[in-house]
Chains A and B, each alone.
Chain A
């Protein structure tokens, strides 16, 4: 079993839709949960991070962590064509520096 599982999609939605992206993980020692956005031929850029459990909101983006079920989610409200990218979940545990990434989900928002 991989440490982080993420459905690679692709996911295609109309502009204005609510997008839900998810990952599951296997190691309960992980404490930091991140979401990155990666445009084609660019490096990943941090969107949001959460420490331990709970929700975090930043504009149109909401990150959720459910440690009891080892499940993390990213919601995008009022999606825009500029949100079209690959979204990567990443987790980090005791070492606090090594990021373990999911495969990434390719999202296309159609105008």
Chain B
């Protein structure tokens, strides 16, 4: 079946601009996660949704970052006033509600470059 999809695959934006990154989880997966992977680093947790609500947003670096999942399926990660330090690959993962931590399925990521 279809895996997690993310769009766009690449995004180049200028410093100070606003960007939106989209994640389509695997059908039926109620849990959704965002991670950020900087160059040469492992993914870092940003936020976790169970259904429509953000159950844990402790990984969001500051208030320029915000994520929504209004209908419990597709999620959008929004970054305001982008900075060069935001350049990274943004990964989305999804899982079933009572899945173990090893059952997160990752998408291919969106590579964000802030110039």
Which residues of A are in contact with B by a Cβ distance under 8 Å? 4, 6, 8, 32, 34, 41-46, 49, 88, 90, 92, 95-104
Chain B: minimal CB distance from A12 (Å): 17
Task: Given A97-B48, A97-B101, answer yes or no on A43-B42 (Cβ-Cβ < 8 Å).
Answer: no
Chain A: minimal CB distance from B8 (Å): 13
Least CB separation from A86: chain B residue = B42
Task: Given A42-B108, A45-B106, A95-B56, answer yes or no on A34-B44 (Cβ-Cβ < 8 Å).
Answer: no
Within the assembled complex, what's the spacing in Å between the Cα atoms of A8 and B40?
A: 8
Check B108–A99 contact: CB distance below 8 A.
Answer: no
Complex A-B, nearest 9 residue pairs according to Cβ-Cβ distance, in ascending order: A101-B42, A43-B106, A92-B101, A49-B102, A32-B101, A98-B45, A43-B108, A44-B106, A101-B43
* B91 beta carbon closer than 8 Å to chain A: yes
* B100 beta carbon closer than 8 Å to chain A: yes
Within the assembled complex, what's the spacing in Å between the Cα atoms of A42 and B33?
A: 16
Check A34–B40 contact: CB distance below 8 A.
Answer: no
Contacts of B4 in A (CB 8 A): 43
Task: Given A44-B91, A49-B102, answer yes or no on A98-B42 (Cβ-Cβ < 8 Å).
Answer: no
Within the assembled complex, what's the spacing in Å between the Cα atoms of A46 and B31?
A: 17
Least CB separation from B45: chain A residue = A98
In the complex, given contacts A43-B108, A104-B40, what are 5 additional A-B residue pairs having Cβ atoms less than 8 angstroms apart? A43-B91, A97-B33, A98-B48, A98-B101, A101-B43
Check A100–B91 contact: CB distance below 8 A.
Answer: no
Within the assembled complex, what's the spacing in Å between the Cα atoms of A43 and B3?
A: 11
Check B102–A32 contact: CB distance below 8 A.
Answer: yes
* B109 beta carbon closer than 8 Å to chain A: yes
Least CB separation from B104: chain A residue = A99
Chain B: minimal CB distance from A32 (Å): 5
